[in-house]
């Protein structure tokens, strides 16, 4: 018995000696990189590996890539985006040069999404669906003869939009996720292309939006055409357009409504809806447009990450590289370091908006003419 006790004592002593060493290494590493952000990259790598080993659950990767590219940069999408860019020039929320720095930077992100990010999104989506099917087969509902196809599609749309809202809320309240999401909020020259200004790994947090489709897959699937419409709608709300939807603005997200979410001054964990405002209203996070909010400046206070507007020369590629590695930069623990928007208390000073110029007339839906 005494031998066992001595062995245990030595082991405990060894552990006690090793703990400070391990803690020191962890602190040293955390001064060079933000470790929680690395966990998102690890999750993405594990999911993609599972999908690849399972041959994407029997789904054609090439066919899925084709469908996504149709949604992102297909002929209809390009026509719609071009029309939205014209509307921005005719009815801008803020007047900007036609080739503003922010527009050029977001064009780079559009190209990045269409070429490099698209395969990652397909791999993550197919892998997540395969994991869900294998791990939780009971969530897949059997075919319901009484359920009309249009009803199933409508249900998937509403549930998918709700899941997107939930993921969006998490991105604003969980620091690890916010580090990836702040790139999207750093844009000071909003345009329809700002919808593409996202970090590639942010898509990990939005995988939950696939769950409604997995649950109801036996009863119908959302078509590519529907996804084009949905994506176009979400892109339009990011546009630099002074436009509300009148009474429909209480249900659907308009550019004037979403601009409040991107405003420079004030809370940004509001107006989180993708297509529907009902989630914001149910959670008390809906702030509807007023004449004072329509031309509000956008971006992040203090510019915590690199932005193309910060220097005398834009340096687009260098700024993009800095933005993509920004989530992994060490956490700034100084008292003035920025926190996720959900953690910041709103003060009287942060309620200031850029007022509409005098002489503008205000429409009932909050638009200014």
**pLDDT tier at 369, thresholds 50, 70, 90:** very low
Nearest to 193 by CA among 318, 105, 114: 105
Structure tokens at 64: 């899925």
Average pLDDT over residues 269-278: 97
Question: Is the per-residue pLDDT at 352 higher than 50?
Answer: no
Query: Residue 280 is part of which domain span?
Result: 34-330
Average pLDDT over residues 312-332: 92
Question: What pLDDT shows up at residue 348?
Answer: 34
**pLDDT tier at 219, thresholds 50, 70, 90:** confident
Residue 303 in contact with residue 186, Cβ under 8 Å?
yes
Q: Give exposure, 62-73, as e/b (b: 16+ Cβ within 10 Å).
A: eebeebbbbbbb
Question: Is the per-residue pLDDT at 2 higher than 50?
Answer: no
Residue 15: inside a domain: no
89-148 pLDDT, tens digit per residue, is 999 999 999 899 999 999 999 999 999 999 999 999 999 999 999 998 888 888 888 888
Question: What pLDDT shows up at residue 29?
Answer: 61
154-174 pLDDT, tens digit per residue, is 999 999 999 999 999 999 999
Residue 22: inside a domain: no
**pLDDT tier at 12, thresholds 50, 70, 90:** low
Determine the Cα–Cα distance for residues 6 and 9; give it in Å rounded to an integer: 5
Residue 340: inside a domain: no
The 8-class DSSP code of residue 92 comes to B
Question: What pLDDT shows up at residue 353?
Answer: 33
The helix or strand, by DSSP H or E, that contains position 166, with its residue range, turns out to be helix 149-173
Nearest to 309 by CA among 355, 259, 264: 264
Question: What pLDDT shows up at residue 239?
Answer: 96
Instruction: Give strand pairing partners of 368.
Output: 362
Residue 353: inside a domain: no
Longest distance between any two alpha carbons in the chain, whole Å: 92
Residue 25: inside a domain: no
Residue entry with tokens 């208390």:
345
Mean pLDDT estimate for the chain: 86
* Region of 267 on the Ramachandran plot (φ > 0 left; ψ -120 to 50 alpha; else beta): beta
Instruction: Give strand pairing partners of 63.
Output: none
Question: What pLDDT shows up at residue 338?
Answer: 59
Residue 63: inside a domain: yes
Residue 299's contacts (CB-CB under 8 Å, 6 or more residues apart) are 185, 186, 187, 188, 262, 264, 307
Residue 263: inside a domain: yes
- Report how far apart, in Å, the C-alpha atoms of 55 and of each of 21, 61, 130, 132, 140 are: 43, 9, 10, 15, 20
**pLDDT tier at 11, thresholds 50, 70, 90:** low
21-77 pLDDT, tens digit per residue, is 555 565 656 678 999 999 999 999 999 999 999 999 999 999 999 999 999 989 999
Q: Helices (H) and strands (E) in the chain — how many of each? A: 13, 0
- The number of domains in the chain is 1
Question: What pLDDT shows up at residue 102?
Answer: 95
Residue 346: inside a domain: no
Residue 101's contacts (CB-CB under 8 Å, 6 or more residues apart) are 189, 308, 309, 314, 316
Q: At what angle do helices 118-135 and 61-73 cross, to 10 degrees?
A: 130
| Global confidence as pTM | 0.84
Residue 320's contacts (CB-CB under 8 Å, 6 or more residues apart) are 105, 108, 109, 112
Determine the Cα–Cα distance for residues 111 and 304; give it in Å rounded to an integer: 25
Question: Is the per-residue pLDDT at 293 higher than 80?
Answer: yes
Who wins on pLDDT, 10 or 348? 10
List Cβ<8 Å contacts ≥24 apart for 323-329.
Answer: 323/183, 323/186, 323/199, 324/183, 324/199, 324/200, 326/179, 326/182, 326/183, 327/34, 327/37, 327/40, 327/179, 327/180, 327/183, 327/199, 327/201, 328/33, 328/34, 328/37, 328/38, 328/179, 329/33, 329/34
323-351 pLDDT, tens digit per residue, is 999 999 987 765 455 567 665 543 333 33
230-260 pLDDT, tens digit per residue, is 999 999 999 999 999 999 999 999 999 999 9
Average pLDDT over residues 197-209: 97
Report how far apart the first and last C-alpha atoms of the chain are (Å, whole number). Answer: 89
Determine the Cα–Cα distance for residues 262 and 299; give it in Å rounded to an integer: 6
């Amino acid at each position: 018995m005494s031998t066992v006790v001595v062995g245990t004592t030595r082991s405990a002593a060894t552990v006690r000696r090793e703990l400070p060493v391990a803690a020191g290494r962890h602190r040293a590493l955390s001064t060079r990189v933000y470790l929680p952000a690395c966990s998102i990259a690890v999750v993405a790598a594990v999911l993609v590996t599972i999908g690849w080993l399972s041959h994407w659950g029997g789904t054609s990767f090439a066919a899925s890539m084709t469908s996504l590219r149709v949604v992102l940069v297909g002929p209809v999408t390009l026509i719609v985006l071009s029309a939205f860019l014209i509307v921005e020039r005719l009815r801008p929320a803020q007047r900007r040069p036609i080739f503003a720095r922010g527009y050029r930077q977001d064009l780079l992100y559009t190209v990045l999404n269409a070429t490099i990010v698209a395969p990652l999104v397909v791999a993550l989506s197919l892998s997540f669906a395969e994991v869900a099917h294998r791990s939780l087969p009971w969530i897949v509902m059997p075919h319901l003869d009484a359920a009309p196809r249009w009803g199933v599609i409508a249900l998937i749309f509403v549930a998918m939009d709700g899941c997107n809202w939930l993921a969006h809320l998490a991105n604003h309240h969980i620091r690890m996720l916010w580090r990836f999401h702040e790139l999207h909020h750093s844009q000071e020259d909003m345009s329809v292309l700002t919808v593409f200004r996202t970090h590639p790994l942010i898509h990990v947090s939005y995988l939950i939006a696939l769950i409604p489709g997995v649950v109801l897959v036996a009863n119908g699937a959302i078509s590519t055409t529907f996804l084009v419409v949905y994506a176009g709608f979400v892109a339009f709300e990011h546009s630099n357009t002074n436009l509300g939807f009148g009474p429909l603005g209480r249900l659907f997200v308009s550019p004037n409504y979403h601009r409040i979410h991107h405003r420079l001054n004030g809370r940004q964990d509001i107006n989180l809806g993708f297509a529907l405002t009902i989630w914001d209203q149910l959670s008390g996070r809906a702030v509807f447009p007023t004449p004072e909010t329509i031309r509000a400046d956008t971006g992040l206070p203090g510019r915590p990450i690199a932005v193309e507007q910060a220097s005398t020369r834009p340096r687009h590629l260098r700024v993009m590289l800095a933005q993509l590695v920004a989530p992994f930069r060490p956490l700034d623990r100084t008292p003035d370091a920025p926190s996720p928007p959900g953690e910041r208390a709103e003060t009287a000073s942060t309620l200031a908006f850029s007022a509409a110029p005098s002489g503008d007339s205000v429409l009932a839906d909050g638009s200014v003419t």
